Homo-oligomer: A and B are copies of this chain.
Amino acid sequence: MYEVELKVRADHPTVRERLDELGADHVESRRQVDTYYNAPHRVFAETDEALRIRREEPADGAAVTKLTYKGPLVERESKTREEHETVVADDDALAGILDGLGFEPAATVEKDRVFYALEGYTITLDSVAGLGEFIEIEQEADESELEAVREGAVGLLSKVGLEADEQIRTSYLGLLLAVEG
């Protein structure tokens, strides 16, 4: 499976109006605060790994903390990575464990996400602290469907009044580090 993903900057009030007109379903809203860690024995930027504590607050539910490890790309074409994630009960204890082992918080990405569903795509309106407002259009696809799904995403983007050639391929973490750097 491949993940087709388009991300561009977007003015949310304008986009929300268009999504309503198009009949998009609001699925859920969620606040995510991600803390990315540095390792004491590796430079993750060089090894292409990531270690993250995600604190997630659904609009209508209890906060959840997750620990995630992303390994380097194992398959370049599909951007496949080894990824392991588990829910953790006590986020302070988890931060204490990482600190004790010599891992250090490197950057925090704080965002409010509103999820919509339309024409089989997941559309996410992200407000990212320090970066601004974005829209992401996503769908999973087999290799044979890749081109069609990608064209569908471009079409959907243009229906909400945005251009695919403004596409941003850098992660929010990467954008933030560039701003701060």
Contacts and interface: CB of A to CB of B under 8 A. Distances in A.
Interface of A: 39-42, 49, 51, 67-69, 71, 82, 84-91, 93-94, 96-97, 100-102
Contact of A49 (B87, B94, B100): B100
Q: How many copies does the complex hold?
A: 2
Most-contacted residue by chain B among A51, A68, A85, A97 (CB, 10 A): A97
A1 B94 CA distance: 24
Given A40-B41, A41-B40, A84 B102 contact: no
Contacts of A82: 96, 100
Contact of A97 (B84, B91, B93): B84
Given A41-B40, A41-B41, A93 B84 contact: yes
Given A69-B96, A86-B88, 7 more contacts: A39-B101, A49-B100, A84-B97, A84-B100, A85-B90, A86-B91, A88-B89
B86 A100 contact: no
Nearest to A94: B86
Contacts of A41: 40-41, 102
Nearest to A99: B84
B97 A69 contact: yes
